[in-house]
Each structure stands twice: as C-alpha cells, then as structure tokens.
Structure 1
Amino acid sequence: MTPVTTQQSPTGAAAYAEPGGFRQRLLDGLAAAIEADGYRNTTVADIVRGARTSRRTFYEHFDSKEACFVALLTDANTEMIRRISAAVDQRARWAVQVRQAVVAWIACAESQPAITLSWIRDVPSLGAAARDLQRDVMSAFVTMIQTLCDTEQWHAVRTEPVSEQLALMLLGGLRELIATTVENGGRVSDLTEVAVRASIALLGPPPAES
C-alpha cells in the first residue's frame, strides 16, 4: 500500500512542549530528506538536521533510521486510511462510494510522490521489519474495505460480506498499478478510471449464473 503526507507538526516552542512533538519533527525530517535525496542516501544526521534537534533526541525515540522509516510509513498509512474513509459518503449509491474511495486513494498517493516511490523501492530492503510492516498495513486496509462495504447501500447489491481474499486481490492490484506507474514516471491520477472500473467489478454484485 502506498504512503501519504504526515500531519504538520507545530513549530518553535510549541513543538518542544507538545507530547510527541520531537517524534513528529523527526518523522517530518526523514520525509524531507527522502524527498531531497532518497531513503538510501539519507543518514541520521540528515534527519536530525531537518528536525532541528540532536542525535541524542533521535535515539531517545528510534533505535535506527530503519525504525524511523517504519514509523513514518505506519503513520502515513494510518492517515491515508482516515482520509479515504472520510471521503466516502455512505448515503450515496455504492458505485459512487467506490469512486470516492479511489479518488481519495489516488490523491493520497500523489500527495508525496517521493514517499510513495520509497515505499515501493526501499521497504523490501528492510527484511523482517518490512514483512511486519506490510502485514500490518494490509490488515488495516482490508479492515477499511470491509467496513466501507458493510452498509445499507452495499447490502442492497451484495448478498455476502467482502472476504479478506477479495479485499487482498483489490489491494494488491491497486498497489501494483500505482507502483508501476510511479516507477515509470507516470501520473497516478491517470489511473482513476481503470481503478474505479476494476474496483466496481471486484466489489459489486456477483455475475449472474448462466
């Protein structure tokens, strides 16, 4: 699943006073460094410089650059799920809800292309940490899809709930579609119509038996 912009952190004295303020500043520092130089070329020194803090503060919050990266992507995907869920009007027709969700998904992916590309290229290099991250993120997105499809509008067209397997097929397809497009330098927004059609085909009413 593709990551999005992290929440803006306070600046100045307020950032120091707020609980978790240093952590957010470090995540923002990593995001800025990835945008400038890529994850692999980023160092802890780059992160703390962007966060305007110290190595000591960094290691009070994270064991390593990799741990900071996992935290950044975890928070970003949590925010992505929040934004997609908020974009869907559960009173609208089910096909409209699909479009709303896909449009929000693509907007999130496009909001920070460097982070999206880093998710595609760099997460596999994290080993066990990557497997845990990908499992947790996919589980959260499966839950989101099942929740969005568990409404009156959806029950009118589906006689059974969306299974985990079906949700995973949808997630995997969207992820690979976005990954291929980003790696080839394309615009993710150009995928909107095909992503909507594919999602409707997977999540809509089953085909009539012949």
Structure 2
Amino acid sequence: MAIAIRDRGYQDSTVADVVRHARTSRRTFYEHFSSKQDCFIALLTERNKETIQKIDAAVDTHAPWRTQVRQAVEAWIRSAQEDTSITLSWIRVVPALGEDARHVQRDAGDEFITLIQKLTSTPEFAAAGAHPPSRQLATIMLGGFRELIATTVEDGNDIADIIDVTAEAAIALLGPRG
C-alpha cells in the first residue's frame, strides 16, 4: 500500500496496485483486508505506532525541558520525512474517508496527546514551572503542527525546514505560565 500511495496517491491506487507491489494475490489481500481503505487504515495505524515509539525513544527525559521538546519535534519531523506521501495522505485523505477512518484518526490523536502529556511530565518540566498541557492545548498543538507539515509538503519544501519554528511554538505553548 505504501508503494502504491507513493506511486499514484491513495485515491488513484487500486487493490491491483497493492497486490502487484506486494507480489501476492487478490485472494491473499482479501484474506487480510476487506478493502483498499481497510489496508490503508492498517498501514496508517502501524505508521502512527512507529512514529510515537520513535518520538518517545528520542527524548532524553533527563535533558533540559527545552531540549526534550526539540528532540521530540526533530523525531516527529524525521518520521514524517521518511515517507511524505504517506504523511500527506494521513493528513489530507483520512478526514474524507468516513466513520472507520475517523475512528482511526481520533485514536491516533489520542495516542499523540497521551505521548505529549507523558513527555511533559518529567521533573525537568516541573522544575521549570511547566506542566503537561491540557487535552485541548495538546490537540491545538497536534493539529497546528500537522497542518504546517502538510502545507510544507504540498508547497514542495523540505519539512526539516520547519523544525525551528515548530520547536519554538511547542516551547511557547508548553513553557511556564507567568
């Protein structure tokens, strides 16, 4: 599925494309997935789990809190860069796919929010007077950063170029309140 999306985009990809790239049969495909959309959702679910694991692993919870924020942002951007076609499909295509995809999107958002709250619960954050963000604030961060990634990719720019502004925004949103 990932190769089909890279080659043709989700909308123009077919089960035949997926089967051809996987070097398998339609029968085998349908033993695992009920549809192209089901396969796409499985791919995105796996990618989100991998991304969350990479971000979590990249953060040194003993580093200064601002460094932790930067590490998380850099890991997220690196993960998004691995396959910008999938990243963009996740952000742009999923919202139009209906109820099943909406559940996956909500679940992934919940997992990212949980990660943000976990990563901001370190002693370094507390010592600086910073606290884990509310669910609403974490949702705003997640949505804003996803939109910035999507527009950067759509404009043909390198998403590594948004690391500084994304880290700066996260630090401003997560930092101590005065």
2:46 aligned to 75, 82, 88, which one?
Answer: 75
Structure 1 residue 123: deviation in Å? 1.3
Higher helix share: 2
- Measured in 2, the distance between the counterparts of 1:158 and 1:61 equals 49
SS at match of 1:97: helix
- Gaps in structure 1 of 5+ consecutive residues: 1-29
1:139 aligned to 107, 110, 126, which one?
Answer: 110
Matches within 5 A, 1:53-202: 53-158=24-129, 160-202=131-173
- Gaps in structure 2 of 5+ consecutive residues: none
- Measured in 2, the distance between the counterparts of 1:97 and 1:143 equals 16
Structure 1 residue 122: deviation in Å? 1.7
Deviating more after overlay: 67-76 vs 125-134: 125-134
Q: In the superposition, relative to structure 1, how do residues 151 and 38 fare at CA in structure 2: closer, same or farther (>3 Å)?
A: same
| Identical counterparts, % of pairs | 57
Q: In the superposition, relative to structure 1, how do residues 148 and 160 fare at CA in structure 2: closer, same or farther (>3 Å)?
A: closer
- Measured in 1, the distance between the counterparts of 2:22 and 2:138 equals 37
Structure 1 residue 205: deviation in Å? 0.4
Structure 1 residue 158: deviation in Å? 3.2
Q: Which runs of 4+ in 1 moved over 3 A?
A: 158-161
Q: Which amino acid aligns with 2:19?
A: V
Deviating more after overlay: 87-96 vs 170-179: 170-179
SS at match of 2:34: coil
Number of residue pairs the alignment of both structures matches: 178
Structure 1 residue 82: deviation in Å? 0.2
**Aligned-CA RMSD value:** 1.1
Q: Give the match for residue 8 of structure 2.
A: 37
Q: Which amino acid aligns with 2:132?
A: P
- How high is the TM-score relative to the length of structure 2? 0.96
Deviating more after overlay: 44-53 vs 75-84: 44-53
